[in-house]
Each structure stands twice: as structure tokens, then as C-alpha cells.
Homo-oligomer: A and B are copies of this chain.
Amino acid sequence: MKILVADDDRELGEILNLALTRAGFDVVRAMDGEQALELFAQTQPSLVLLDFAMPKLDGLEVCRQLRTQSSVPIIMLTVHNAEEEIVRAFELGADDYITKPFSPKQLIARVKAALRRSGASVSSALTVGDVRLFPERHEVLFGGGETVRLTPLEFRLLHVLMLNRGQVMSTDQLVEQVWGHEEHIGDRTLLKGLVRRLRQKVDVDPDRSSLIKTVAGVGYSFMA
């Protein structure tokens, strides 16, 4: 279970890191607000710990922006007696807050509680190489950050291929999983067309060989 920690205080960050790691979480660290948003998009954590005071973008702004795209649990870290900040944070959709200083024990308890409340709304981002696919958003993101618009069938094909990365999928398997039913089995024409259109969108870099490898006489596989 991944947790994104956004805090510019190196020392505090280390404490958080240690406590969370010891509790069995994977920690991803951001040192400022911009980086936090970036890492969120990349890593799709299950929970976010946000410090209020941060360079570039402060915690409130990060919170606001995260809330426009995700309902991930957000816990704010704040200094004592900052009522005003806390109120704003709740208004912007934060789930909880912890005042510094706090005990690691308390932190873990809050984190677990927030995760429990959020149910199992874990994001299932699929990453292969520098291609990331978000099923719940129907979106594909490249390492650089560019997104590609895919049609429903293109998306399903890519999804299937990425779920089975490295493995060769026979044409029949692919046809069945993409189109869903028997009628088209045995017909390679449709798959040919679809693979072509998908390659045009996905193979951004014309130098490198296609991400979708053809295995002659069998089918296709994604990446090597």
C-alpha cells in the first residue's frame, strides 16, 4: 500500500518515512507541492500526507487540485493552533489532520483509520515501462506526461496486452477479450486494423521498435 508524503522538512520527512515503512507501507516522498502532484499522477498512492507549508505550491493548493481528480484520502500536517488552516483544509476536502508534533503511533492510527474509511478504493494503475494505463480514468499516460486519447476498442486491446506484459497473446485470445464474443473468432482482419491504429497512437517514438511486438504465426505481445 503506497503512501505519498509531501513535506519539505527533511528531518520530519525521515521520521514519517521510518514510521510508515515500519508499519508496512511503501513511502513515496515529494519535497514540494509541484512534485507532489507529479508523483501522485505517476504513482497513484492509496493515501496522501500533506504538509501545509511547502515551496512552489502549499498544501492547501495541492489538496484542492488533488480533489479535482481523485478521492484519495488526504491527511494534512499542521502546526498547533492553526484553526484557520484546518478549516480551509476540510473545506477543500481533506479527510483528517494531525498537528505537529505528533507521535508515530498516532500517525499510523490516523493513516489506518483514513484508509479504512476510504474502503478499498485503491487505484489500479497499470505500469509497463514508461506507459501507464488508468482503467478507472480510461486514460493512458506516458513517462513524459503526455496523454493519448484511445477509442474504447484500442483501450481494451492495450489493457489486455499490458495485463499480460511479456507474454504472447494469440490472435484468438485477443479477439475474444477485446470484442467479447465468439462471432469474430478466426477473423484476423479486424485485429490487424485495430493493432495498426493502436500502434499509430502508442508508438510515439518512431526510432524505437513498436511497443507491440508481432510474434509471427501466433499473435502479439507488449514490450520486451
Binding site for B on A (CB under 8 A): 64, 67-71, 83-84, 86-87, 90-93, 95-96, 103, 105-106, 108-109, 112-113, 116, 122, 127-129, 136-138, 149, 151-152, 163-168, 215-218, 221, 223-224
Contacts and interface: CB of A to CB of B under 8 A. Distances in A.
A17 B84 CA distance: 21
26 contacts: A64-B129, A67-B224, A68-B129, A69-B166, A69-B223, A70-B166, A71-B164, A71-B166, A86-B109, A87-B105, A87-B106, A87-B108, A87-B109, A90-B108, A90-B109, A91-B127, A92-B127, A93-B128, A136-B167, A136-B168, A137-B166, A137-B221, A138-B168, A149-B216, A152-B216, A152-B218
A220 to B, nearest CB: 11
B109 A216 contact: no
A167 B137 contact: yes
A108 B127 CA distance: 26
A162 to B, nearest CB: 9
A69 to B, nearest CB: 4
Given A68-B165, A71-B164, A128-B68, A106 B93 contact: no
Contacts of A138: 168, 215, 218
A223 B66 CA distance: 10
Contact of A165 (B70, B92, B105): B70
Residue of A70, A163, A217 with most partner-chain B CB within 10 A: A217
Given A168-B136, A216-B151, A127 B93 contact: yes
B109 A95 contact: no
Contacts of A105: 83-84, 87
Nearest to A218: B138
Q: 8 closest pairs, A vs B, by CB?
A: A152-B217, A68-B224, A69-B166, A87-B109, A87-B105, A136-B167, A138-B168, A70-B166
Contacts of A64: 129
Contacts of A151: 216-217
